[in-house]
Amino acid sequence: MSVLPYLLAVFVFLVGLYGIVSSRDLIHLTVCVSVCQSSTYILLLAIGYREHATAPVYGDIPASRKVVDPVVQSLALTDIVVAVAVSALLLAFALRAFEHEGSLDPREMAELKG
């Protein structure tokens, strides 16, 4: 049980990779990349979690309460921005490639061979 959340991250990562490898549509593929990326936030947040602890925000709670790790949360925040930025760029590439090739299937656009 104590490794289950970590295993979830591993699972999501591998599932995303499978999606990328087997994809037949660049938009589908881009979404799979973002699934892959979501595994990194899951892993980060799972590592910083503590049993019976609250969020690292001290609005009204006494400072003596046990809190979860704030650093992994800030890393996950950074990671989310990176993810969206990259995904938006990938979609734009896919759109342009479609303009040029008339297809979104990676098999039909392998012009760069050898």
Partner 1 sequence: MKLPLRLAVFGVGVAGLGFLLVWGVADLPPFGHYAGPYGDIITKLVEPQRHMANAVTAVVFDYRGFDTMGEELILFSAASAVALLLREIRERDTVDVVDAIRSDAIRGLGVLVAAATLLLALYVVSHGFVSPGGGFQGGVVISAAFLFVFLTGEYHAYARLMPTKFAEPLESFGAGAYVALGLIAFGFGLAFLENFLPLGVTGRLRSGGSAALVNWASAFAVAGGFLLIYAEYLEGNMAARYRRSKP
Partner 2 sequence: MVPLQSIALLFVALGALLVVLVRDVVRQALILSLYGFALVVLFLVFQAPDVALSELVVSAVAYPLVVVAAIARIAAHRKRRGE
Partner 3 sequence: MTPLLPLLTAIPLLAAALLALAGKWLKDPVPDLAGFAAVAAPLVLAAIVLARTGGHVLTYWFGGWRPRAGDFPVGIGWAVDSLGAAFALFVLALLLSALLYSWRYLQEERYLYVVLMLAFGGAMVAFVQTGDIFNLFVFFELMSVAAFALTAYQVEEASPLQGSFNFAVANTIGAFLVVFGIALLYGRTGSLNLAEIGQRLTFDGKHDGLVVASFVFITCGFLVKAAIVPFHFWLADAHAVAPAPVCVLFSGVMVELGIYAVARIFWVVYSGALGAFDTPIRDVLLVVGVSTAVLGALMCGLQRHLKRMLAYSTIAHAGCFLIGVALLTPDGLAGAALYVLSHGLAKGALFLVGGILLVTRGGIDELLLFGLGRRLRLPAVAWFVAALALASPPFLGTFTAHALIEDSAGAEGYWWVPLVLAFATIGSAAAIIRAGLRVFFGVGDRDDPLLSEEPTESPPAEEKPRLALMYAVTLLLAFGGLAVGAWTGLAATAMEAGHTFTDQLSYIHVVLDHRPPAPAPPGEWVTTTSSVVWSVVTLVGAVALGFASTIRARLPDAATRVLAAGFAPLRAVHSGHIGDYVAWLVLGTGAIGAALAVAIR
Q: Which residues form the interface with partner 2 (CB under 8 A)?
A: 1-2, 4-5, 8, 11-12, 15-16, 18-19, 24-25, 27-28, 30-32, 34-35, 38-39, 41-42, 45-46, 49-50, 53-57, 67-68, 73, 76-77, 80, 83-84, 87-88, 91, 94-95, 98-99, 102, 104
Question: For the chain, how big is the Rg over CA atoms in Å?
Answer: 19
Q: What contacts 24+ positions apart, CB below 8 Å, involve 64-72?
A: 72/44, 72/45, 72/47, 72/48
Binding flag, residue 96, partner 1 (CB under 8 A)? yes
| Nearest to partner 1 of 88, 103 (CB atom) | 88
Q: How many CB atoms lie within 10 A of CB 24?
A: 11
Q: For tokens 């609005």, what's the residue?
A: 59
Minimum CB distance to partner 1, residue 10 (Å): 4
Which of partner 1, partner 3, partner 2, none sits in contact with 12, Cβ below 5 to 8 A by type?
Answer: partner 2
Binding flag, residue 100, partner 1 (CB under 8 A)? no
Angle in degrees, CA 19, 43, 35, rounded to 5: 25
